């Protein structure tokens, strides 16, 4: 067997999407929908990462579920419409990121696998990350990026080879010349990691496990991503992610459909070019849409109303002569973005 064939046998074909969180920082939006299903540029958030996995050779995906898990399962189904096979790991009690991964040990079998948080948007060549991981024979690889807020995100430090030497203040070294980064929410892991996890059911893969691996000299590496990334954990981040897509600052690899939608448009309607209009929307006479508006599927915009720099969730109704600016509007609530 030549080297190319050997590496091909190691290339990940399976992934896990961590989707069981409560989404507490994103309330009150997550009182209506679980975070993986909140609409981003008129698509459920989790679909962007399913697309990313599919584009990079992943065939089978496990999704862990807890909060509003039935809705996620109903939306994704068996995964066939995404070109994937999806199975579910239900967690009646939250297991934490580490416990959730370890529960799926049998699913991952004997080759490297990908783990990705459901609540991030990232524009990355995942195949390049996988190649980095395999070429270094890494135990685990974290996708890292420059850190704008060490207090919020914590700091991970790597040496010139990319090997992680200091971790979230829990692992210290006297080595100099280290570079400081933050974690993006993507791991590539060797199946051997399952043999080096705590025996208890509930634990965090970052807080409870990585420091132990690094102290015991496991080859954990950081792949540095300098392209687009955003964590949608809070209202402001969610709002900005939508605006980033409209401004073409995010997701250059085709996860957003900017083609013409099938919607009804009354007389004298003005729609700015940098807007997204969902299918089945109704925009009544003399309404003005934009700039920076995302109108969800089946929304109704009343006569003479204006919607700008705002996100309207599906089925939202805006009355006549309203002015909606800088807002997130759902079927039940209006929130300043």
Residue 115 main-chain phi, psi, to 5 deg = -125, 130
Q: At what angle do helices 45-55 and 69-76 cross, to 10 degrees?
A: 50
pLDDT at 1: 43
Q: Report d(CA 182, CA 144) in Å as an integer.
A: 5
Q: Report d(CA 3, CA 33) in Å as an integer.
A: 47
* Cβ–Cβ under 8 Å, residues 160 and 42: no
* 84-93, 107-116, 175-184, 207-216 — most confident range: 84-93
pLDDT tens profile 71-106: 999 999 999 999 999 999 999 999 999 999 999 999
| DSSP run (H or E) holding 230 | strand 229-231
pLDDT at 11: 83
Q: Which tops the pLDDT comparison, 287 or 175?
A: 287
* Cβ–Cβ under 8 Å, residues 74 and 266: no
* 10 pLDDT above the threshold of 80: no
Report domain 3-237+241-246's class: alpha beta
Q: Report d(CA 245, CA 238) in Å as an integer.
A: 11
pLDDT at 3: 45
Q: What is the value of pTM for the model shown?
A: 0.89
pLDDT tens profile 32-74: 999 999 999 999 999 999 999 999 999 999 999 999 999 999 9
Q: Report d(CA 164, CA 179) in Å as an integer.
A: 10
* 257 pLDDT above the threshold of 70: no
Q: Report d(CA 166, CA 157) in Å as an integer.
A: 5
The structure tokens 């995302």 sit at: 294
CATH 2.60.40.10 at 261-336, yes or no: no
* Cβ–Cβ under 8 Å, residues 286 and 306: no
Mean pLDDT (whole number) for 215-239: 94
Residue 109, burial from CB neighbour count under 10 angstroms (0-12, 13-18, 19+)? exposed
| For the chain, the helix, strand and coil percentages under 3-state DSSP, each to the nearest 5 | 30, 30, 45
Residue ranges of domains in the chain: 3-237+241-246, 261-336
């Amino acid at each position: 067997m030549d080297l190319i064939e050997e590496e091909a046998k190691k290339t990940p074909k399976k992934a896990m999407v961590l989707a069981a969180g409560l989404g507490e920082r994103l309330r009150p939006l997550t009182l209506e929908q679980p975070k993986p299903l909140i609409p981003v540029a008129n698509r459920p958030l989790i679909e962007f990462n399913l697309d990313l996995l599919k584009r990079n050779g992943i065939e089978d995906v496990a999704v862990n579920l807890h909060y509003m898990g039935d809705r996620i399962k109903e939306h994704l189904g068996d995964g066939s419409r995404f070109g994937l096979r999806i199975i579910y790991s239900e967690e009646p009690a939250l297991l934490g990121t580490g416990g959730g991964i370890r529960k799926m040990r049998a699913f991952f079998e004997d080759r490297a696998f990908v783990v990705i948080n459901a609540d991030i948007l990232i524009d990355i060549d995942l195949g390049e990350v996988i190649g980095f991981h395999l070429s270094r024979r890494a135990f685990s690889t974290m996708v890292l990026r420059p850190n704008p807020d060490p207090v919020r995100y914590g700091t991970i430090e790597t040496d010139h080879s990319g090997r992680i030497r200091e971790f979230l203040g829990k692992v210290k070294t006297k080595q100099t010349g280290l570079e400081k980064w933050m974690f993006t929410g993507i791991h590539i892991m060797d199946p051997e990691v399952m043999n080096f996890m705590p025996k208890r059911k509930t634990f965090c893969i970052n807080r409870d496990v990585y420091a132990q691996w690094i102290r015991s000299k496991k080859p954990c590496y950081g792949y540095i991503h300098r392209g687009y990334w955003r964590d949608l954990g809070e209202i402001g981040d969610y709002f900005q992610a939508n605006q980033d897509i409209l401004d073409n600052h995010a997701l250059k690899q085709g996860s957003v459909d900017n083609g013409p939608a099938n919607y009804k448009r009354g007389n004298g309607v003005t729609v700015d070019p940098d807007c997204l209009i969902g299918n089945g929307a109704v925009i009544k006479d003399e309404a003005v849409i934009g700039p920076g508006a995302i109108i969800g599927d089946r929304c109704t915009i009343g006569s003479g109303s204006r919607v700008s720099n705002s996100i309207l969730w599906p089925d939202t109704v805006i009355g006549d002569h309203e002015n909606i600016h800088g807002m997130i509007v759902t079927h039940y609530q209006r929130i300043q973005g």
